[in-house]
Amino acid sequence: MSNGTQENSTGKVAIVTGASRGLGRNTALSLARKGTDLVITYHSNRAEAERAVAEIEALGRKAVAFRLDTGDTSAFDGFADDVRRALKEIWGRETFDYLVNNAGIGHNALFADTKESDFDRLYNIHFKGVFFLTQKILPLIADGGRIVNLSSGLTRFSVPGFSAYAAMKGAIEVLTRYLAKELGARGIAVNAVAPGAIETDFSGGAVRDNPDFNRFVASSTAMGRTGLPDDIGPMIAALLSDDNRWVTSQRIEVSGGMFL
């Protein structure tokens, strides 16, 4: 059933991890509005994932949701099998076109106070998981496809309390360049998108729900406000369009000009 707001089908299929909420959900919906079908993942909230699928379908697109802990590499074989089966049964094809590595968690602790267990969890989700999930489903990505890895503005500017998180995102930016180099022969473009502070429930909703922090972010941003999910999802959808086929190996910050 269409609500008349989406564009014609692109014939493309995207995987967006962590798409039951926040930036992942906004990205999935933005892609759907541009005519792309979706495979989304969620960590634990199946009900929210099902609502996201319903929203995508209301835009006239096909969608399916799979549970996936992106910090658990042992789950990746099963996920690849789920994707392979869905591609065949729903879309009648063997490959998908776009991968958006979005799933993540927040963590705020000064360097001196960061626990090894928290560091390991950040590493498993934000770097190791992205590395090996992409590797696992790489054979399913169509030649000429696209990969977007989510980074952070915190790789350019430093805010106390985010050393471990930002370090993982820095690793993602290096990985992005290497993937762009190694996958270029297949026509696969790989870029990193680095959001600034966004009003979501990420990190306990600090930007959205803490008025003092919200004002601090706004005062530190050239555009004079904090970011919204709608500032990010449509940008990623645009980056994945054919209009940007010659863009690869780039770190693209989408922060409204934080800390210039």
**The pLDDT of residue 5:** 47
In a domain, 219, yes or no: no
Question: Which comes out higher in pLDDT, residue 5 or 207?
Answer: 207
**The pLDDT of residue 7:** 57
Token match 């074989």: residue?
A: 77
Name the band, by pLDDT with cuts 50, 70 and 90, for residue 3.
very low
**The pLDDT of residue 13:** 98
In a domain, 222, yes or no: no
In a domain, 167, yes or no: yes
Gap between the Cα atoms of 89 and 133, Å rounded:
22
In a domain, 65, yes or no: yes
Q: Which residues are designated catalytic?
A: 165
Contact yes or no for 183/144 (Cβ under 8 A): no
In a domain, 79, yes or no: yes
- pLDDT tens for 82-122 read 999 999 999 999 999 999 999 999 899 999 999 999 999 99
Gap between the Cα atoms of 16 and 160, Å rounded:
30
- pLDDT tens for 9-41 read 889 999 999 999 999 999 999 999 999 999 999
Task: Provide the CATH number for the domain around residue 95.
Answer: 3.40.50.720
What is the domain extent for residue 242? 13-198+228-254
In a domain, 161, yes or no: yes
- pLDDT tens for 144-194 read 999 999 999 999 999 999 999 999 999 999 999 999 999 999 999 999 999
**The pLDDT of residue 1:** 36
Interval 138-147 mean pLDDT: 98
pLDDT at 199 over 90: no
**The pLDDT of residue 150:** 98
Please tell me the total count of domains within the chain. 1
Interval 228-255 mean pLDDT: 97
In a domain, 205, yes or no: no
**Order of strands across the sheet that contains 96-101:** 63-67, 37-42, 13-16, 96-101, 141-150, 189-195, 251-254
In a domain, 221, yes or no: no
